[in-house]
Structure 1
Amino acid sequence: MNKTYCPSLTEYKRRVSRVVNIGGLPMGGNFPIRVQSMTTVDTMDTMGSVEQTLRMVEAGCEYVRITAPSIKEAQNLLEIKKELRKRGCNVPLIADIHFTPNAAELAARIVEKVRVNPGNYADKKKFEEIEYTDATYAAEVDRIRERFRPLVQICKQYGTAMRIGTNHGSLSDRILSRYGDTPLGMVESALEFLRLCEEENYYDVVLSMKASNTQVMVQAYRLLVQKLDEEGLQPYPLHLGVTEAGEAEDGRIKSAVGIGTLLEDGLGDTVRVSLTEAPEAEAPVARMLIDRYTWRAGMARPIKPLVGEVPINPFQYFRRPTHEVGNFGGQNVPRVITDVSRLPRLEYADLRAAGHLYSAFLDKFQMSDLGADYIYSGERPVPFMLPNGLKELVNYPAWNDAGRRLDHFPLITADRYMADTHLGPGPRPDLHPQLNFLAVSLDALDAPLLAQLRQDRNIVLLLFTTNTHAMPELRRAFFELMLHRVDCPVVIARDYPLQAAEQTQLDAATDVGGLLIDGLGDGIVLGTRDLPDGESQESWLATINGLNQLSFGILQAARTRMSKTEYISCPSCGRTLFDLQETTAMIRQRTDHLKGIKIGIMGCIVNGPGEMADADYGYVGVGKGKIALYRGQEVIKKAVPEEAAVDELIELMREDGRWIEKEILGEPVGA
């Protein structure tokens, strides 16, 4: 199998794509990675669209996309463009098209770029499985190509660029019937359109493979690059994005897991972060993701090249096989370790930072859905009994000096681990009989250490790096373990400097999430190495609490451990039929205690049942003040008044036996 999808797995090299000129602002090649977003105002509101576009440009948008669901909106793009140019704003405009080829053909004469979705440009979606022979399938492809050909010719004539943007949730019935709900289906959906573009000698094309599921999204982009090369097609620029990422911290984490993973491997020429927030809030997040790579090649330390075949399939998720140690590895979900070693002191109430809430009134602990599995206390073991469900690891010297307590688990260095005289098979008296943590980096994984790890069955690796090119070095370490048949569990450890919380969210979600997406990692521990002296206990606790929540958020975004309700909410656009931000906040307030349930919140039918992909329930705008409620991809109630829709959604969950009432936890001391 050809597993090549990027210039290098160990060295930062950006993929050199074809340059596409979009209104005088080129994309691809060696040009900077561009930032873009999409308006949320009704396209028929000319002045509203203009004012919002100006705010987006001020926030950093280099391209602005505007929906054109019908001919009248496509025509009004001209008025919007005129007013923007009148005000001295020359930002390239992109028309977003679904279902309406005639609107695309008009818009292509007005704006600098059009976006079409091959899943619904000429195909229809009825969620039907259709039996095709090769001949009938080929006839359908020919029909669609002829419907698409006029747009290609218009774009070529007017010098208009095009994005062929596949969405995971809106694959046509035809593609699903032939390829299934797979990354390959997403890629083939785009390639059908792309092949016609090349036949017409039209090359001003950008490609995207968006999904709300980060695993599917990353796999599809990788497979797309591999297929372009395999078929000898042009190396077209890539537009990166996670659809329906959501809002606030969750939306940023999910976006970084998907987009950041691809940027790490040098893929991507423009980024759109899809948040359920004002569009001007998206550009700064995209810029923070992109800016990590401005000087990456010069700042990174060399990583030793990979010898032999890549031991994972980059186009399909498989978790790295490991043996079970304690509750790590095997079939266990990835574990969260919260680092409290830098706290000046630790009291009962302080464990709230690790998700374990102490009630002085009840004199008992209650664990939240984001309760850590372990805490790391370093050289100072916790001086009181920990609540059930929470375990502790300490540095080896502290564990040894305290009498090698069985209820503590030691963290040992590689040098100390290999210095013992009892190397070889069998029990080692210097270690805990059940569970030990070994801190290692890629450089420490030499032949003797790897040989010893193959024999010891009670070791969990704590894998760290100080390389600026962090994720690829950590991945290279996993490859080393796999190539040498070492199957002990691995916890991914990352430390970050004192910086804005949002930047740490994006950095950690990229570094750790990219590994989890490839099935690498059995746990996570995040730390901050620069907590300043003199900070209050509350400030330290707030930082630690944020890192604990971030750990769970990354695991959820990578689809490896579901610990809270997931909201698949679209970012809003001119098609939206209700206030998405307000509605999402209202639904979250009522349902955020439903652990593991996925709720899709879509502003219109374009982002309806398909875009919700694998949501358990859906809340979709179908008219002014009217909501359709879905169970999976099946509509259950078609025109519920908006004011009653949340109650009806909860009633649907109740009918399915999936609704539980909120539990009021004991108020934590000092909260």
Structure 2
Amino acid sequence: MNKIYCPSLTEYQRRQTIEVTIGDLPMGGENPIRVQSMTTVDTMDTMGSVEQVIRMVEAGCEYVRITAPSVAEAENLRHIKAELRNRGYNVPLIADIHFTPNAAELAAKIVEKVRINPGNYADKKKFNIIEYTDETYQAELDRIRERFVPLVKICKEHGTAMRIGTNHGSLSDRILSRYGDTPLGMVESALEFLRICEDLNYHNIVLSMKASNTQVMVQAYRLLVQKLEEEGLKPYPLHLGVTEAGEAEDGRIKSAVGIGTLLEDGLGDTVRVSLTEAPEFEAPVARTLIDRYTNRAGHEPIKPICNIPINPFQYERRHTHEVLNLGGTNVPRVVADLSQLDALQYADLKCVGHLYSMLLDKFNMSDLGADYIYTGNNPISFMLPNGLKEIVDHEAWQTAENREERYPLLTAKQYLSEAEKSAEVNFVQLNLHDLTPEMIDALKTDKTAVAVLQTSNAHAMAELRKGFFRLMNNGCEVPVIIRRDYTEMLSETTQLYASTDVGGLLIDGLGDGILLGTSSMAPKTKTEWLERIDNLNKLSFGILQAARTRMSKTEYISCPSCGRTLFDLQETTAMIRKRTDHLKGVKIGIMGCIVNGPGEMADADYGYVGVGKGKIALYRGQTVMKKSVPEEKAVDELINLIREDGKWIEPVILETENV
């Protein structure tokens, strides 16, 4: 199998693409990675759209997309564009098209770029399973060509660019029937339309493979690049995005896990972060992700990888032996770093999800309760709650009381020496250079060892990945905790960087735990330290959830809103979250309209979809259960649906009085 999908797995190199002309701001080629977003105002509201576009541009958007669900909206793009030009804003506009070829053909004469979704543009999406022969399949392709060719010719004539944007949740019945709900199906859906463009010598094209599931999204983009190369097609620029990422911290983490993973390997020419928030809040997040690579070239060298031991197009968790509750079939564990604090009290463990009730003299563990705490040279002086285990530096472990209740962290040198070790678990802190043949041989035969893999290389994910590959290529199945330490920086920046570095590994099945270290941080007070540790603990669980490797809370697959939206998405998402955020592992899709309805929330358990003003459709999976529920009753009806399936539990109020 050809596993090559990027310029290099070890040296940061931007993938070289053709340049695409989009107004006066080209994409791809030698141009920087561009930032874009999408309006949420009704497209027929000319002045409202103009004002929002201006806010987006001033927030950093270089391209702005506007929905055009019908000819009327497509025509009004003319007025929006004219008013923007009158005010001195020349930002290229992109018309977002789903079902209506006639709207696309009109918009292509007005704006600089059109986006079509091959899953429902001149194709069929009725959730039917159809058996196609080669002849009937080709007949459908011929029908699509007939509908699609006029748009291509208009784009050529007017110098309009096009994004062929596949969405995981809106693959057509025809694609699903032949390829299934797979990254390959996503890629083939786009390639069918791309081949028509190539036949007509039209190349002003950008491609995207968006999904809410970060594993599927990353695999699809990688496979797309590989297929373009395999078929001898041009290296078209890529539009990166995780669709329906959600809101607030969860939306940012999920976006970084998907987008950042691809940027690390040099893929991507424009980024759109899809948050259930005002669109002007999306651009700064995208910019933070992109700017990390401005000076990435020239990082500390990493030797090339000769053998890739994973399938980059399909998730499979690395096989490891079990040590205590690490590795094997256990979910990845969270290790919280408390090593910079001493004289800890019961109440301080609240920052790692273990809440002490002075009234009851007992601990309650939240859904985000850390599995281990690392205390460095400051062992805890009291008995830890059940389920929480302690890691200490080897020197402190040697002299600590009750050594059987804690586990040592050894350096590579200590581990290979005759230093005293635990009979149960020994954590070994390593970097790539420590993974010598001697070390690997020792780890292979030691059923008490757990590696803690870290790096100081600016190209962190690549070096950590190389470490995993070295272990795998040498048959070493030791469990590995991924450790990353960040210098003091804005909380959101840490959030995005950690989600990229660790999430990118987890997506490939690499990693049995996560430790976000605090050794490089310098808060001034204990309160600031506890707040920082609390944030890192929540971030660790958020990364695991975004990478689909450990579900510890309710997941909300909510669209970022656009001019088609039929209710206030931010308000509704907050209301649904307030009522349901205790339902661990349940996935709820919240979609503003039927376009982003049952298809886009492809792997949600339940769906809340706008179908008309004040009317909501409720779904179980992709099956509509209630078609027209009044908006004021819809959340209660959603809860009733969850209750009918036996998935509803009453929220528990924990006793949290602190000493």
Return the TM-score normalized by structure 2. Answer: 0.99
SS of alignment partner, residue 297 of structure 1: coil
Q: How does 1:240-639 map to 2 (within 5 A)?
A: 240-298=240-298, 300-307=299-306, 309-402=307-400, 405-420=403-418, 430-532=420-522, 535-639=524-628
The aligned residue for residue 180 of structure 1 is 180
Q: What do the CA deviations read for 1:159-183 (whole angstroms, capped 9, x no partner)?
A: 0000000000000000000000000
One-letter amino acid of the structure 2 residue matched with residue 600 of structure 1: G
SS of alignment partner, residue 514 of structure 1: helix
Determine the C-alpha separation between the residues in 1 that align with 2:125 and 2:197.
24
After TM superposition, give the deviation of residue 345 of structure 1 in Å.
2.8
2:95 paired with 1:95: yes
Q: What do the CA deviations read for 1:544-600 (whole angstroms, capped 9, x no partner)?
A: 000000000000000000000000000000000000000000000000000000000
Report the more deviating stretch, 395-404 or 207-216: 395-404
2:66 paired with 1:66: yes
Determine the C-alpha separation between the residues in 2 that align with 1:544 and 1:495.
12
SS of alignment partner, residue 406 of structure 1: helix
Q: What do the CA deviations read for 1:314-353 (whole angstroms, capped 9, x no partner)?
A: 0000000000000000000000000001014310000001
Is residue 261–residue 510 contact of structure 1 (8 Å, CA) maintained in 2?
A: yes
One-letter amino acid of the structure 1 residue matched with residue 132 of structure 2: Y
SS of alignment partner, residue 653 of structure 1: helix
5+ residue gaps, structure 2, are none
The aligned residue for residue 192 of structure 2 is 192
After TM superposition, give the deviation of residue 195 of structure 1 in Å.
0.3
After TM superposition, give the deviation of residue 667 of structure 1 in Å.
2.3
After TM superposition, give the deviation of residue 282 of structure 1 in Å.
0.2
Q: What do the CA deviations read for 1:132-171 (whole angstroms, capped 9, x no partner)?
A: 1111111111111111000000000000000000000000
Determine the C-alpha separation between the residues in 1 that align with 2:560 and 2:304.
40
After TM superposition, give the deviation of residue 617 of structure 1 in Å.
0.4
SS of alignment partner, residue 337 of structure 1: strand
2:635 paired with 1:646: yes
Determine the C-alpha separation between the residues in 2 that align with 1:615 and 1:274.
17
The aligned residue for residue 425 of structure 1 is none
SS of alignment partner, residue 476 of structure 1: helix
Determine the C-alpha separation between the residues in 1 that align with 2:120 and 2:204.
21
Is residue 359–residue 657 contact of structure 2 (8 Å, CA) maintained in 1?
A: no
5+ residue gaps, structure 1, are 422-429
The aligned residue for residue 146 of structure 2 is 146
Is residue 616–residue 632 contact of structure 1 (8 Å, CA) maintained in 2?
A: yes
Is residue 498–residue 529 contact of structure 1 (8 Å, CA) maintained in 2?
A: no
Determine the C-alpha separation between the residues in 2 that align with 1:577 and 1:556.
29
Q: What do the CA deviations read for 1:402-422 (whole angstroms, capped 9, x no partner)?
A: 26711111100100111228x
Determine the C-alpha separation between the residues in 2 that align with 1:218 and 1:22.
25
Q: What do the CA deviations read for 1:21-80 (whole angstroms, capped 9, x no partner)?
A: 100101001110000000000000000000000000000000000000000000000000
Is residue 67–residue 96 contact of structure 1 (8 Å, CA) maintained in 2?
A: yes
One-letter amino acid of the structure 2 residue matched with residue 304 of structure 1: K
One-letter amino acid of the structure 1 residue matched with residue 439 of structure 2: L
Determine the C-alpha separation between the residues in 1 that align with 2:204 and 2:363.
60
2:40 paired with 1:40: yes
One-letter amino acid of the structure 2 residue matched with residue 374 of structure 1: Y
Determine the C-alpha separation between the residues in 2 that align with 1:402 and 1:46.
70
SS of alignment partner, residue 88 of structure 1: coil
After TM superposition, give the deviation of residue 440 of structure 1 in Å.
0.4
SS of alignment partner, residue 296 of structure 1: coil
The aligned residue for residue 426 of structure 1 is none
Determine the C-alpha separation between the residues in 2 that align with 1:210 and 1:531.
35
Report the more deviating stretch, 106-115 or 496-505: 496-505
One-letter amino acid of the structure 1 residue matched with residue 484 of structure 2: R
One-letter amino acid of the structure 2 residue matched with residue 463 of structure 1: L
Determine the C-alpha separation between the residues in 2 that align with 1:550 and 1:465.
19
The aligned residue for residue 424 of structure 1 is none
Is residue 404–residue 432 contact of structure 1 (8 Å, CA) maintained in 2?
A: no
SS of alignment partner, residue 65 of structure 2: strand
After TM superposition, give the deviation of residue 532 of structure 1 in Å.
2.8
Determine the C-alpha separation between the residues in 1 that align with 2:594 and 2:34.
29
SS of alignment partner, residue 403 of structure 2: coil
Determine the C-alpha separation between the residues in 2 that align with 1:306 and 1:654.
51
Determine the C-alpha separation between the residues in 1 that align with 2:196 and 2:332.
45
Determine the C-alpha separation between the residues in 2 that align with 1:607 and 1:628.
12
Determine the C-alpha separation between the residues in 2 that align with 1:8 and 1:22.
28
Determine the C-alpha separation between the residues in 2 that align with 1:329 and 1:242.
29
Determine the C-alpha separation between the residues in 2 that align with 1:82 and 1:305.
52
SS of alignment partner, residue 163 of structure 1: strand
Determine the C-alpha separation between the residues in 2 that align with 1:305 and 1:439.
23
Is residue 301–residue 469 contact of structure 1 (8 Å, CA) maintained in 2?
A: yes
Q: What do the CA deviations read for 1:601-633 (whole angstroms, capped 9, x no partner)?
A: 000000000100110000000000000000000
CA RMSD of aligned residues (A): 0.9
Is residue 610–residue 617 contact of structure 2 (8 Å, CA) maintained in 1?
A: yes
The aligned residue for residue 237 of structure 2 is 237
One-letter amino acid of the structure 2 residue matched with residue 501 of structure 1: S
SS of alignment partner, residue 600 of structure 2: coil
Determine the C-alpha separation between the residues in 2 that align with 1:409 and 1:506.
31
2:82 paired with 1:82: yes
Return the TM-score normalized by structure 1. Answer: 0.97
Determine the C-alpha separation between the residues in 1 that align with 2:29 and 2:245.
28
One-letter amino acid of the structure 2 residue matched with residue 303 of structure 1: I
Q: How does 1:89-128 map to 2 (within 5 A)?
A: 89-128=89-128
2:621 paired with 1:664: no
Determine the C-alpha separation between the residues in 2 that align with 1:563 and 1:480.
31
After TM superposition, give the deviation of residue 668 of structure 1 in Å.
3.9
Q: How does 1:158-173 map to 2 (within 5 A)?
A: 158-173=158-173
Is residue 461–residue 488 contact of structure 1 (8 Å, CA) maintained in 2?
A: yes
Q: What do the CA deviations read for 1:636-671 (whole angstroms, capped 9, x no partner)?
A: 00000000000000011111111111100012427x
Compared CA separation, residues 559 and 206, structure 1 to 2 (3 A) = same
Is residue 352–residue 668 contact of structure 1 (8 Å, CA) maintained in 2?
A: no
Determine the C-alpha separation between the residues in 2 that align with 1:448 and 1:497.
32
Determine the C-alpha separation between the residues in 2 that align with 1:400 and 1:293.
43
Determine the C-alpha separation between the residues in 1 that align with 2:623 and 2:14.
42
Report the more deviating stretch, 592-601 or 452-461: 452-461
Determine the C-alpha separation between the residues in 2 that align with 1:31 and 1:82.
27
One-letter amino acid of the structure 2 residue matched with residue 518 of structure 1: D
How many matched pairs? Answer: 659
Q: What do the CA deviations read for 1:342-387 (whole angstroms, capped 9, x no partner)?
A: 0143100000011000011111100000000000010111000000
Is residue 486–residue 521 contact of structure 2 (8 Å, CA) maintained in 1?
A: no
